[in-house]
């Protein structure tokens, strides 16, 4: 294949890597620039789910009632650091406008147009990886304390089913059969039949990046300080160390780091970072085969190759906030209440700062200021799920092809 265009992708997380791989498949000579080592991105500290029916926006209708509680209870599944409230208030006001049932329904349909394609869009990327077991075969469990908790979710369960996502109601016996370690703890649950867990978040990302390099891609570890432009086109990027990489086309897929380029891109997008916390137990002393999410507790217990990962909680903090690992300790203690035999020797804490927009949808669009630049950021908790789909859509955008998905809902100009 003749390499047609020199293309630079800013951001080597899961979305950036998938963009690079799809551009590579289209014949581009791709340079992928990422400040961290392979696999050490926001998605590393995610829950490892290809969560195809996770299409309900965070702004559920009762969300505004919870805001005072977020300020008062820093131990809840959702928390807001009080000092961050003034800076976050404009974002929060936008956020609650999407809490109407009509908006919930619309956003769910729009997100489903991406998530429904997740597995088919990952398939051609995984074909070139050295491992064929990067995505597991077990579905995911969602568990509730009571019938009332399950009933509260029924509207959303029905909405997901109407969009083709399968789920099965489980009783105590069925939960115990699937996960003996949870026997006697839960009597109400859902089997999310079309969710899958990756082998390990860090490994999954690193294997895709290795495949990119093995197919001739260039991986540069460094931070981009600016996008160089001539008129209405990007012509390259400059790194903080002074190196420069020319580009005929460019993709900005740097998650929270994309904000540094908004002025150059000609966009004004309310992107914030939202914290999610994880604890990895390398020798947990407990065996699970399914990722299991405790809905009322706000966390999940996920078997990954590097150990049992306990992850979840959502924390709103200021732009330059450091992780608050007391939240990781909190979910660990809650997990011990479910699995008293957990072995915490050698445990590792981690935090992932998800790039969130008020309507829970990403930006997948062309830059209005630079005609040869595509943008892909703001995926929130869906980066791992729709990384490949985003990559394919970005490659089609830069090729001037009609996309398989209507990208109108994902334009930057919606803000």
User: Hey, which residues does 312 pair with through a beta bridge?
Assistant: 277, 299
User: By the 8 A CB rule, do 381 and 11 touch?
Assistant: no
For residue 71, name the pLDDT band (cuts at 50, 70, 90). Answer: low
Domain total of the chain:
2
Average pLDDT score over residue span 381-408:
97
> Looking at the predicted structure, is the pLDDT value of residue 1 above 60?
no
Q: What is the pLDDT of residue 129?
A: 96
Do 289 and 338 sit in the same domain of this protein? Answer: yes
The percentage of residues in the chain with a pLDDT greater than 90, rounded to a whole number, is 82
172 and 79 housed in the same domain: yes
Q: Within this chain, do residues 86 and 167 fall inside the same structural domain, yes or no?
A: yes
Structure tokens given for 331 = 């979910």
**Cβ proximity of 353 and 274 under 8 Å:** yes
DSSP 340: T
CATH number at residue 31: 3.50.50.60
What was the pLDDT predicted at 62? 67
Q: Residue 377's domain spans which residues?
A: 6-42+203-270+360-414
Asked whether residue 147 is assigned to any structural domain, the reply reads yes
Higher pLDDT, 40 or 314: 314
Domain boundary among 329, 356, 383: 356
* One domain, residues 86 and 177: yes
Residues 220, 265, single domain; the answer is yes
Burial class from Cβ neighbours inside 10 Å (0-12, 13-18, 19+) for residue 107 reads buried
Which tens digit of pLDDT belongs to each residue from 307-319? Answer: 999 998 788 888 8
Residue 144 has what pLDDT?
95
Same domain? For 214 and 260 the reply is yes
The verdict on residue 173 lying in a domain is yes
- Reduced to 3 states (helix: H, G, I; strand: E, B; else coil), residue 51 is coil
Strand partners for 49: 197
Helix (H) or strand (E) holding 375: strand 373-377
155 by Cβ neighbours in 10 Å (0-12 / 13-18 / 19+) ranks as middle
Exposed e or buried b for every residue in 170-201, given b needs 16+ CB within 10 A? beeeebbebbebbeebbbbbbbbebbbbbbbb
What DSSP string describes 288-306? Answer: -SS-EEETTTTEEEEEETT
Domain holding 306: CATH number? 3.30.9.10
158 vs 402: CA distance, rounded Å: 32
Give residue 256's Cα distance to chain centre.
12
Q: What confidence score (pLDDT) does residue 2 get?
A: 45
- For residue 194, give both structure tokens: 């079309």
């Amino acid at each position: 294949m003749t390499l047609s265009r020199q293309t630079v992708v800013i951001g080597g997380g899961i979305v950036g890597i998938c963009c690079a791989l799809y551009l590579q498949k289209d014949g581009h000579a791709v340079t992928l620039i990422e400040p961290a080592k392979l696999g050490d991105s926001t998605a590393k500290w995610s829950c490892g789910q290809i969560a195809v029916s996770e299409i309900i926006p965070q702004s559920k209708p009762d969300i505004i009632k919870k805001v005072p509680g977020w300020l008062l209870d820093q131990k809840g599944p959702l928390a807001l650091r009080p000092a961050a409230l003034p800076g976050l208030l404009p974002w929060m006001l936008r956020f609650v406008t999407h809490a109407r049932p009509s908006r919930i329904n619309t956003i769910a349909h729009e997100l489903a147009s991406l998530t429904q394609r997740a597995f088919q869009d990952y398939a051609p990327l995984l074909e070139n990886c050295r491992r064929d077991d990067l995505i597991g075969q077990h579905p995911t469990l969602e568990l509730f304390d009571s019938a009332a908790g399950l009933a509260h979710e029924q509207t959303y369960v029905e909405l997901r089913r109407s969009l083709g996502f399968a789920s099965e109601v489980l009783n105590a016996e069925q939960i115990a059969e699937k996960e003996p370690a949870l026997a006697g703890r839960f009597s109400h649950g859902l089997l999310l039949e079309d969710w899958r867990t990756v082998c390990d978040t860090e490994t999954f990302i690193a294997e895709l990046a290795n495949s990119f390099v093995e197919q001739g891609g260039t991986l540069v570890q460094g931070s981009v300080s600016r996008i160089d432009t001539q008129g209405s086109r990007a012509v390259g990027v400059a790194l903080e160390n002074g190196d420069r990489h020319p580009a005929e086309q460019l993709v900005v897929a740097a998650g929270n780091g994309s904000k540094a380029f908004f002025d150059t891109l000609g966009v004004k997008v309310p992107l914030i970072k939202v914290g999610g916390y994880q604890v990895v137990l390398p020798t947990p002393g407990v065996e699970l085969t399914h990722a299991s999410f405790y809905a009322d507790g706000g966390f999940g217990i996920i078997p990954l190759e590097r150990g049992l990962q306990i992850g979840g909680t959502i924390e709103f903090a200021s732009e330059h906030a450091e992780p608050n690992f007391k939240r990781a300790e909190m979910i660990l203690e809650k997990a011990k209440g479910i699995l008293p035999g957990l072995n915490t020797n050698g445990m590792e804490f981690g935090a992932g700062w998800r790039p969130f927009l008020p309507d829970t949808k990403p930006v997948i669009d062309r830059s209005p200021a630079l005609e040869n630049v595509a943008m892909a950021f703001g995926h929130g908790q869906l980066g791992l799920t729709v990384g490949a789909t985003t990559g394919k859509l970005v490659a089609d955008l830069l090729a001037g092809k009609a996309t398989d998905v209507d990208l109108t809902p994902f334009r930057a100009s919606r803000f």
